Amino acid sequence: MKKILLLGGGLSSSTLIQYLINHSDSYDWFLTICDIDIQSITNKTKGHPRTKVIEFSIDDTSLLKSLISDSDLVISMLPARFHPIVAKLCLDAGKNMLTASYISDELKAMSAEIESKGLIFLNEIGVDPGIDHMSAMKVIHRIQGEGGKVVSFKSSTGGLVAPESDNNPWNYKFTWNPRNVVVAGQGVSQYIQNGRYKYIPYHKLFTRAEAMEVPGFGSFEVYPNRDSLKYREMYGLSDIPTMFRGTIRRPGFCEAWNVFVQLGMTSDEFAIPHSNQLTYRQFTNSFLKYDPIQPVEEKLSEYLGLPMDSEVMKRLEWLGIFEETLISKANQTPAQILQGILEAKWKLDQEDIDMIVMQHEFEFELHGKKKKIISSMVVKGKDQVHTAMSITVGTPVAIACKLILTGQIAARGVLAPVSPAIYEPVLAELENFGIHFTEEEIDL
């Protein structure tokens, strides 16, 4: 019997748990799931005889050591900041490890020792990162195998609400961690375009959205991710003239979101001690000029040059930032207050389903001709448990778990899924779950 330890059984783990349970008899697996919310996990396992649920805190090092020591493979679906803790214990115990998160500097520092012990620590095997890497490398390697040279690569992903559940003027609802949405993009975004390096400071980021079309799903817009340059080396494209990665939203979102950036509402740099004494309207007014008579709406419109009857103002009014609703907590940062306002309005309703959209654009030279491939993926959630986010994050993790335990992945060390030995079997099985790409090839 192979023992699998899953640390963290939140929303993104729902489909992962179901896959492991469904395959537990045929592969003789036993699954132990550790989470702070054991009732939620129990609802997912439904008392399956090949599962055990344990209440768990990352601070309980003794319990964590014991659980890792008794396992054959550890899957960490905890917040990324906890992965190095788990990784060190897995290394000490000689256990393989899986995560859906980016490879951290701490894991890179352990790489030589992990490889020398014959272990695999496979990371970035979710959706983004994960499916993005695998699907991109499949096309890149195909082009190169045919003798072509990739000269431009653009890739974008978005967690969105499905069209049938899209019923608000922002065309957006929270489908993953709201905190990450509120603080997204802070810092400087960088990419390369036609050999020219581009740097976009945060206060200009949401003014630089570009249009994008996905067949069958209409129009979208894309704003740059923080660092696109690091993927050149990972993808073996160190001399590529254009490398861009972005985040997908529906048209108009970025222009409206830019209001919060310009006002300072996304800041986490200071707390407002008396925030519980403010209303949403007073909170908004606190970022505008002092004028005891002029309405807040007019001040904001004037400050940002927005017509009062603009679509942006309509979106802001719908959110309720001009209402006299009292903020419930003291000592909140502006970002925390904004998150509270948004969570009340951008929550998925009971019958809503979410949607993951991913699109790659490859330009390449082949036999003296210039061509372009546009590769698109859209996955919709099934319900509030098996969301598109859960399906696209959890399924590749689960498949990789199976491949490692059955010895089908022989590579060792700290890895991302960019080699054919990993991405080919994972992508092949993902198609059985409706996770696939459609391609369009164009002569340039």
> Which CATH number does the domain 257-345 belong to among 1.10.1870, 3.40.720, 3.30.930, 3.30.1760?
1.10.1870
The segment(s) of the chain belonging to CATH 1.10.1870 are: 257-345
Phi-psi region of 286 (alpha: psi -120 to 50; beta: other; left: phi over 0): alpha
Alpha-carbon distance of 311 to 305, in angstroms, equals 13
- In the block, which residue shows the tokens 């309207």? 281
Q: Which amino acid is at 156?
A: S
- In the block, which residue shows the tokens 């598109």? 388
Which tokens is 205 given? 């980021």
The contacts of residue 178 (CB under 8 Å, 6+ apart) are: 339, 342, 343, 346
CB 20 within 8 A of CB 401: yes
Predicted confidence at residue 388, as pLDDT, reads 96
CB 394 within 8 A of CB 13: yes
First to last CA, the chain: 55
Is the bond leading into 129 cis (omega within 30 degrees of zero)?
yes
Question: What's the pLDDT band for 177 if we cut at 50, 70, 90?
Answer: confident
pLDDT above 70: percentage of residues in the chain? 100
Predicted confidence at residue 242, as pLDDT, reads 98
User: 54-75 pLDDT, tens per residue?
Assistant: 999 899 999 999 999 999 999 9
> Which CATH number does the domain 2-129+389-436 belong to among 3.40.50.700, 2.60.120.260, 3.40.50.2000, 3.40.50.720?
3.40.50.720
Whether the predicted pLDDT of 175 surpasses 90: no
Q: Which backbone phi and psi does 80 adopt, to 5 degrees?
A: -55, -30
Distance of CA 14 to the CA centre of its chain: 16
Alpha-carbon distance of 125 to 130, in angstroms, equals 4
User: 132-153 pLDDT, tens per residue?
Assistant: 999 999 999 999 999 999 999 9
Question: What's the pLDDT band for 11 if we cut at 50, 70, 90?
Answer: confident
Mean pLDDT throughout 103-107?
Answer: 94
**Rounded to 5 degrees, what angle do the CA atoms 226, 58, 404 make?**
70
Q: Topology of 131-252+351-386 in CATH?
A: Dihydrodipicolinate Reductase; domain 2 (3.30.360)
Question: Closest by alpha carbon to 278, among 293, 291, 296, 256?
Answer: 296
User: 246-270 pLDDT, tens per residue?
Assistant: 999 999 999 999 999 999 999 999 9
Question: What's the pLDDT band for 101 if we cut at 50, 70, 90?
Answer: very high
Q: What is 376-400 written as a DSSP string?
A: EEEEE-SSSSS-HHHHHHHHHHHHH
User: 380-415 pLDDT, tens per residue?
Assistant: 999 988 999 999 999 999 999 999 999 999 999 999
Alpha-carbon distance of 285 to 334, in angstroms, equals 12
Q: Which amino acid is at 441?
A: E
Q: Which amino acid is at 91?
A: L
How many CA atoms lie less than 13 Å away from 280 in the CB half-sphere? 17
The segment(s) of the chain belonging to CATH 3.40.50.720 are: 2-129+389-436
Evaluated on CA atoms 126, 129, 132, 135, the torsion sign reads negative
Alpha-carbon distance of 345 to 367, in angstroms, equals 53
Helix (H) or strand (E) holding 422: helix 420-430
The helices-and-strands tally (H runs, E runs) of the chain is: 17, 16
